[in-house]
Amino acid sequence: MTNNHINYVEFRAKDLQAIKEFYTKAFEWNFTDYGPNYVAFAGSGLDGGFEKSDEAVVNGALIVLYHEDLTTAKKNVLDANGVITKDIFSFPGGHRFQFTDPSGNELAVWSDQ
């Protein structure tokens, strides 16, 4: 993996089963369940996932960058006037944080370190 490259894309979905059925039938994507609230996909050209959420879909996708050192990446975001929306947290497979850029776009940075 390369630091600062787009590595993953994440969408919100109200019904994970319906999402899996749609993308499997329409595009032949493969899915892996990670508990009741998250499903990852592969076979789309860029890996990603769907998070179960009742929130309205505004942007539609969460773009996820990779960086081996989240502390450095977070400092770089803050130094560039980004705003942390979710501080560093753990999930199966690694850690990540989320931020907004000066235009309000929300992105995330993750690490498996």
User: Other CB atoms closer than 10 Å to residue 33's CB: what's the count?
Assistant: 12
Provide the domain count of the chain.
1
Residue 102: the pLDDT is: 76
Domain membership of residue 93 as a residue range: 6-111
- Whether the CB-CB separation of 95 and 88 falls below 8 Å is answered with yes
Q: Does residue 51 lie in a domain region?
A: yes
Q: Does residue 85 lie in a domain region?
A: yes
Task: Read off the CATH number of the domain in which 33 is found.
Answer: 3.10.180.10
Residues of the chain with pLDDT under 50: none
Outline where 1-113 has alpha helix (H). 16-27, 70-79
Residue 107: the pLDDT is: 86
How does strand 48-52 pair with strand 6-13?
Answer: parallel
- As a whole number of angstroms, the distance between CA 35 and CA 25 comes to 22
